[in-house]
Structure formats: C-alpha cells, structure tokens
C-alpha cells in the first residue's frame, strides 16, 4: 500500500489512503479504558502533521471538545492547516441531547473557534442515531441546517458519520451527503457495512472506513483485548478472531497489519481512519500500511468473517 493522494469521491478533495482519528486524544477513558495526557496528545498530533498522512479527523463531542482544542493548539503553532492536509470534523448534539438545526449551527461555531478555522472543508453529521430521521430531515432539523451552511460557504462538503447500517443507507440516499464515514462495521470480522459500501459506490458517495481494529481486538489480539466495538465481545467472536490471528501468524503477518490492509485494499474505501495515542504509533501505522502481505492470506481470511448474527449491524 502507498500513501499517495486519492480523490475523495466527487468532492474535489484529496486524502491519503490512511487517515488519523483523534477521538482517543480527547481523553475518553470511559470509551477506551485508558487515559491520554495533554502533553502526549499534543506530541502525537505534532507527529501526525510531520508525517505523510493527509487526513486528520475529529469531532465537536470528542472529550467534550478537548480533541478539537488540542488539534487547534497544534494548528495555531503551525500557522494554520498545513498545505495538502484535510482536517474534518463533525457536528454533535449538546449535553441536553439537542440535535436541532439551531444546535448544528452552534456546534459549527464551537468547532471553528476551537480549531481556529473560519471554514470547514469537510463536515460530518455525527451519529445521527441520537435523533430521529424525520426530525433530522424536518425544516428546522439538522440536515437542512447543514445544507444551508454549505450554501452560505461556511462548509465545503458534507458527510454523514455513524454506525447503524440501515440508518446510514437512508441518509446517503437523501442526496445531501458526498461522503460516508462508517466505523467498526467493515473489518476482518464484521462485514455489516458491505452492502452500504455497495450502495455508496452506486450513488457516487465516497467512503471513509474507521476503526478497522474493531476498537482494539484486531490490533492487540484477542488474548490482550477481548472488546469489539467498545464492548465485551461474544465468545464466538473472540474465537473467530483467534482463528484469523492463527492464519496471519502462519504467513508471518501481524494481525493488526491484516486488519488495516483489509480495509485499505478495498476499492470502495477511499481512506481508512485509525486512532493513535502516542507519537510512535503514527510511524507504526504507516509501516503497517506498507507491510508486504501474501495474496494467499486474503483468500483464507475471507472465509473467517464472523457469522452475520454476530455483526454490529
């Protein structure tokens, strides 16, 4: 795999096949099970901007806004967003759960202030399962507000980022979004989003695939991390992960490499987003992306996806 720039669908934007996610840098131990200190987070972000990776993703709600604040601090050190780098963020509801059109505007204002950016080239409607489809599409809902922000020139391009496959399909079919960001649902174990990726290809919607490690199990291995999708994995899923790991070991390929490249090699995926929490993890991710994987490995692991009953859906 290489890190050459590729088009992000019809948006006119370009991204590297590998992107960096910053949710854990917002210090969310309730989600990830560990703390990330401020200085370590800043050093990690500096390393990201010194690397060949040209996609950095964050969100208004990560760490109560701390992910954006830290990212903004590093961007200010650099005099703004480095040339060729795409920084994307997302709108989130407030603490009271308001995800109205008015809240979307406030979310954008907060993000711009934290990031030090007056214009957001790529903005996602984040986890829309936190409201109803009908409410989001209503005249005073989140989606019309996003479209209006784009028309006003505050936002360049719109995407939708979330989990539930059926709901994501409803949103990409609205025509309001140029990019889909899916997470944890297109991995070595879980193929929930495969039909969604097909639909995006049919509609001309570009795809970013996040969390190819399933939140950790496919990075560290099931013996060290038995969680998938930020929750305890069923015994059957853990055993399937062990089977995949054994196949990888037989080819001399780290499980994490196979997990990352499974996503990166799919032509329906423009970029694969991985989270990093230490500076050295940036170089490791780039090395994993370029690791030589024997083609025969893919034939074997293709047969080892978990049964559909275990998918996140």
What is residue 192's DSSP assignment? T
Q: In this predicted structure, what is the pLDDT of residue 118? A: 97
Query: Model-level pTM?
Result: 0.96
pLDDT tens digits, residue range 250-289?
999 999 999 999 999 999 999 999 999 999 999 999 999 9
**CATH number where 25 lies:** 3.20.20.100
How many independent structural domains does the chain possess?
Answer: 1
Cα–Cα dist 202/209, whole Å = 17
H-helix segments, the chain: 29-32, 38-50, 66-77, 101-115, 133-137, 142-152, 165-172, 194-203, 217-220, 235-250, 255-264, 279-290, 295-301
| Alpha-carbon separation of residue 258 from 249, 277, 305 (angstroms) | 10, 20, 13
Query: If you average pLDDT over every residue of the chain, what do you get?
Result: 96
Q: In this predicted structure, what is the pLDDT of residue 28? A: 82
pLDDT at residue 140 greater than cutoff 80: yes
Residue with tokens 């920084």: 87
pLDDT at residue 30 greater than cutoff 80: no
pLDDT tens digits, residue range 8-20?
988 899 999 999 9
- Assign 29 a pLDDT band (cuts: 50, 70, 90): confident
- Assign 33 a pLDDT band (cuts: 50, 70, 90): confident
Structure tokens at 37: 């200190």
Cα–Cα dist 282/154, whole Å = 31
pLDDT tens digits, residue range 60-105?
999 999 999 999 999 999 999 999 999 999 999 999 999 999 999 9
Q: What is the domain extent for residue 201? A: 5-310
């Amino acid at each position: 795999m290489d890190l050459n720039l590729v088009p992000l669908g019809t948006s006119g934007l370009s991204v590297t096949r590998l992107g960096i996610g910053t949710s854990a840098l917002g210090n969310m131990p309730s989600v990830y099970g560990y703390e990330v200190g401020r200085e370590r987070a800043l050093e990690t972000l500096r390393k990201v901007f010194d690397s060949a990776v040209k996609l950095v993703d964050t969100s208004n709600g990560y760490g109560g806004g701390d992910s954006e604040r830290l990212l903004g601090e590093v961007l200010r050190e650099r005099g703004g967003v480095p040339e060729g780098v795409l920084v994307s963020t997302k709108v989130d509801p407030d603490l009271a759960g308001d995800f109205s059109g008015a809240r979307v505007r406030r979310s954008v204002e907060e993000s711009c202030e934290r990031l030090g950016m007056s214009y957001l080239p790529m903005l996602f409607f984040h986890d829309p399962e936190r409201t109803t489809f009908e409410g989001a599409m209503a005249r005073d809902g989140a989606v019309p507000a996003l479209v209006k922000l784009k028309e006003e020139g505050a936002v360049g391009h719109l995407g939708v980022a979330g989990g539930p496959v059926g709901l994501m399909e409803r949103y990409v079919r609205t025509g309001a979004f140029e990019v889909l960001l899916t997470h944890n649902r297109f991995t070595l174990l879980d193929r929930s989003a495969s039909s969604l990726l097909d639909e995006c290809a049919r509609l001309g919607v570009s795809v970013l695939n996040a969390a190819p490690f399933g939140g950790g199990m496919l990075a560290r291995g099931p013996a060290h991390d038995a969680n998938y999708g930020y929750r305890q994995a069923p015994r059957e899923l853990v055993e399937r992960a062990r089977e995949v790991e054994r196949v990888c070991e037989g080819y001399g390929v780290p499980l994490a490499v196979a997990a990352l490249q499974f996503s990166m090699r799919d032509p329906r995926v423009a970029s694969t987003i991985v989270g990093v929490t230490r500076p050295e993890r940036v170089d490791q991710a780039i090395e994993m992306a370029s690791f030589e994987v024997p083609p025969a490995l893919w034939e074997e692991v293709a047969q080892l996806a978990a049964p559909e009953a275990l998918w996140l859906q």
